[in-house]
Structure 1
C-alpha cells in the first residue's frame, strides 16, 4: 500500500513540478493524472499494484466532501439573499450537464454506428 500511495503522490508531484517549471495553464494534478494514465497503459503490472489502494481511496471518497459541507454551513450567512440565484444556478447547471451528456452520448453512438433495435 505504501508503494502505491508513493506512486500516486509521485505522479502528482511530477505534474505539479512540470506545470510550474513550464508555466503551463494546465494544473499540476491534471498533468500527474495524464502521466499516471500513460503509466497504467504502458505497464500493466503498475495497475495491479495500484488497484487495491485506489479502490480503498475511492470507497472513502465521500469523506472528502465533508470539509466543503462544513464550509457551506459555516458561511451560511454569506449566502443570505443569494438563495434564488444559487437555486437557479444549481438547477440550470444540472439541466445543462444532463443535456450535454445526452447529446454527447447520441453523438458517440452515431460515430460508432450503434443502432437502436
Structure 2
C-alpha cells in the first residue's frame, strides 16, 4: 500500500494546501517581505501548477480545493463583519481606501483583458498553425 493511499484524497489535498501556505508564510517572515505569506503561498501554488514536473501538486490539492471553492462566499463573511465593525476607521481614510480599491480594480481589469487577448491569440495559433502573423 502506498503512503498516499493512507490518507483520504481530501485530507492529502488539505495537507498540500497548508504546506504551501506555510512555505509562503515562512518565506515572508524570513526575508521580511511586505507581502503577506498567504499571497506568497498562492503564488507558489500557481508556479507549481505551471511547471511540468510539479503539476501533480494541483491534482493532489484539487479534492480539497473544490469544496472550498464551492463555499467561497462563506469565506467573505468574516472580512465583511470586520469592515462593518471598523467603519469609523474607513470613514477617516475614505480617500486612500477609495483610491486603492479603484486603482486595484483598474489594474485587475487591464491585466484580465491582456491575459484574455493573449489566450485568444494562443488559441487561434493552435487552431490555425499555418497562418503567419496572427
Q: Report TM bin, short chain.
A: 0.5 to 0.7
Give distance in 1, aligned partners of 2:24 and 2:75.
Answer: 21
Give aligned pairs, total.
112
C-alpha spacing 1:13/1:102, structure 2 compared with 1 (3 Å): closer
Distance, in Å, in 2 between the alignment partners of 1:100 and 1:52 is 32
- TM-score, normalised to structure 1, is 0.62
- For 1:54 and 1:37, how far apart are their aligned partners in 2? 13
1:78-117 matches, within 5 Å, as 96=106, 100=110, 104=114, 108=118
User: Is residue 54 of structure 1 aligned with residue 68 of structure 2?
Assistant: no
Q: Which aligned runs of 4 or more in structure 1 are off by greater than 3 angstroms?
A: 71-83, 91-109
Could you list the runs of 5+ residues in structure 2 that have no partner in the other structure?
1-9, 125-134
Residues 23 and 41 of structure 2 are in contact (CA less than 8 Å); yes or no, is this contact kept in structure 1? yes
Which runs of 5 or more structure 1 residues have no equivalent in the other structure? none
Q: Are 1:68 and 2:93 matched, yes or no?
A: no
Residues 24-81 of structure 1: CA deviation (Å, up to 9, x unaligned): 2332122212222232233233222211211111111100111233334445577779
Match of 2:32 in 1: 23
Q: What TM-score, normalized to structure 2?
A: 0.56
